[in-house]
Structure 1
Amino acid sequence: MSASGNKAVLIGVSGVSSSGKTTLARLLRDIVPNTFILHEDDFYKTDQEIPVNEDGVQDWDCLGSLDLDLLEQALDFIKTHGYLPPNLESKEDKNAVGESGVDRQRVAELKKAARKQLDVKSDVPVFIIDGFLLFSQDMRHIRELFDIKLFLRADHKTVKQRREARTGYVTLEGFWEDPPGYVDSVVWANYAKDHGFLFEDGDVEGKLKDDLCEELRIDTAPLQVQGNMTACVDWAFDRILSHLSKRTAGD
């Protein structure tokens, strides 16, 4: 076990809806030994408890839609015990995720590299938590639980195109489909509100505040990996490998 005393490495993968978080998490699970996934969406409140906005539409993309106490308890449990809390069942894995677009040969190469380079490090389990709202200021108490923070960006046009192409989402009590205009009025609006502090002038399609991201230890995917999941996997793998190597060196 590491000098930190924690029995697991927690990786937060966050960003706007449809930025590739779940796809990246699943690819990394296949590549990095002893890796498991937990989805922030598994901590939604019941359908009846989801807040309703001023337009009378349920807001599944706001802080109030999540059971933050349960999420924090789960993360604490994982860090303390090194495995998932009992009776935590993922509904998110029932939702469809499209093809990753990553060449299978590249995945095989990274998997081979991971097993070679992480041979002595893989005794500590890695848990990847993907979610749309992990790094906001209102989530700082949860944000600081992550050993690695990976932030994915996507522009409004891409988010709108991808999100509106989805058929819907399995919920605790049923199924949700976005009503017309939902991406603009809810998804993107909430993303800008909750993550604007990371960007110059609050423009979430603009320049990041690099000093702040460094202070908060948030690794942000370079612009050139947007829309290129192969490049995104390479970048994320490099960041994880770097952390695990430093962790082992400190044991």
Structure 2
Amino acid sequence: MSEREKAVIIGISGPSSSGKTTLARLLQRIFYGAKSAASDKRLNTFIIHEDDFYFPDDKYVEQNIHILHDTDTIRIPYTTTRSGATIQDWDTAAAIDLSFLSQALRYVRENGTLPPRLRSKEDQNDRTESGVTDEVINELKSLVESRLSATGENPTIAFLEGFLLFAPPAQQDHVLRPVHDAINLHVFLPAAYKLVKERREGRSGYVTIGPAPEPVESESKQADTEINAGEIDLEAEDDRPPQNFWVDPPGYVDDVVWPRYVGDHAWLLIADADENDASESLVGAEAEADLVRRVGDGTRVRTDVGVEIAPGAGGAEMDVVLRWAVGLILDYYLEQR
């Protein structure tokens, strides 16, 4: 990080239900308030949830957005499932205001605080028990404080958690490149298909932004919409619409969540993958099915592409992952000082 930057951003990614939010909350609890004996100041930390950057589920907010098509509004994208049902697709980059997210991350790095424009809805969603005891948390808090105690004034640590944060190393024009490059340390939590399905289908649903959407006539007008978003006034108050509640329709994990995850992360999940992996002889659903087959249960993850992979291939208990993450972040943070 440069001397003028006031925050380090730790990006925590992985498939739905892999423990990203739980880990971020534990890390924030452990690092927050660590005191420096050299400056008598305490470390500031906070969490940024990628889910807070979803577009509204009926229409995008029109201000500061220019659409290069024949419509002046966009919605969360729709997809047609194998059964022929047309449903919203929350598991694609097109559902996220990536311009807002990348601008917010730059703001955090430059100011060391969250922008006033960002108001989280994520904490209204269900919380799950972490399985980590207070004894372990207090032990790790002591470790953090002892290692940071002599470092003087410390930059803020922001924990960014989300299902779609990282870009392939050599693909500079990737849609997630501005987000990836705004992150200082990239942490990935693998999870097996069976675990993702079980946990995701066990959730009651998710708080969203905006009223329930009207049905759309077709998805063609929404596909691959190109948006040139201007600078967002991050100092303004959050004026996004009232909230709604999304419940996964039947089969959503198999029809949308898992295949989208596999397709977006083939470069990370397939050992011999190139960065645009998909057989040239296959297209559409066939190419998607081929990638799902090759990825298998999703626990084999590359370690040679600049992303730190949590231990246990998705099967480790949270206390094991937490200890690993604390050590990793401390080592990185101290190296940057």
Q: Same fold (TM over 0.5)?
A: yes
Count, aligned residues: 243
Instruction: Please say which structure displays the higher CA radius of gyration.
Output: 2
Answering whether residue 205 of structure 2 is matched by residue 135 of structure 1, we say: no
The answer as to 2:45 corresponding to 1:35 is: yes
Q: Of 325, 329, 334, which aligns to 1:236?
A: 325
Corresponding residue number in structure 2 for 1:147: 184
More helix by share: 1
Shift in CA distance, 234/133, structure 1 to aligned 2, threshold 3 Å: same
Q: Return the structure number with greater relative CO, CA threshold 8 A, min gap 6.
A: 1
Question: In structure 2, how many angstroms separate the alpha carbons of the residues matched to 1:176 and 1:52?
Answer: 14
Q: Decide which of 254, 259, 280 is 1:189's aligned counterpart.
A: 259
Matched residue type, 1:6: E
Indicate whether 1:44 and 2:74 are aligned: no
Q: Distance in 1 between matches of 2:154 and 2:300?
A: 38
2:302 matched residue in structure 1 = 209
- SS of 2:176 mapped into structure 1: helix
Q: Indicate conservation of the 8 Å contact 2:190/2:301, yes or no.
A: no
Is the CA contact (8 Å cut-off) linking 1:121 and 1:245 kept in structure 2? no
- The answer to whether structure 1 residue 85 and structure 2 residue 95 are counterparts is no
Matches within 5 A, 1:104-123: 104-119=134-149, 120=151, 123=154
Q: Deviations over 1:73-119 (max 9, x none)?
A: 10011111111111311000111121000111000100111111112
User: Scaled by the length of structure 1, what TM-score is found?
Assistant: 0.92
State the identity as a percent.
44
Q: Does 1:170 align with 2:207?
A: yes
Moved over 4 A (4+): none
Residue 25 of structure 1: aligned partner: 24
Query: Hey, what's the Cα distance between the residues in 1 that align with 2:124 and 2:48?
Result: 13
Aligned-pair CA distance for 1:203:
1.7
Aligned partners of 2:257 and 2:333: how far apart in 1?
34
Q: Which residue in 1 is equivalent to 2:236?
A: none
Q: Write the deviation string for residues 14-61 of structure 1: whole angstroms up to 9, x where unpaired.
A: 000000000000000000132100100000001011100023110011
Q: Could you say which residue in structure 1 is the equivalent of 2:155? A: 124
The amino acid across from 1:19 in the alignment is S
TM-score normalized by the length of structure 2: 0.69
For 1:197 and 1:244, locate their aligned partners in 2 and report how far apart those are by CA, in whole Å: 27
CA distance, structure 1, for counterparts of residue 156 and residue 311 of structure 2: 27
Q: Distance in 2 between matches of 1:92 and 1:142?
A: 19
Correspondent of 2:79 among 53, 56, 74:
53
The verdict on how the C-alpha distance between 1:224 and 1:105 changes in structure 2, with shifts beyond 3 A counting, is: farther
Asked if the contact 1:121/1:244 (under 8 Å) is kept, the reply is: no
Q: How far apart, CA to CA, are the structure 1 residues paired with 2:322 and 2:80? A: 39
Amino acid at match of 1:128: F
- 8 Å Cα contact 2:78-2:87 kept in structure 1: yes
* Offset of residue 223 of structure 1: 2.2
The answer as to whether partners of 2:12 and 2:188 remain within 8 angstroms in 1 is yes
Q: 1:74 aligns with which of 78, 97, 104?
A: 104
Separation of aligned partners in 1, 2:147 and 2:154 = 13
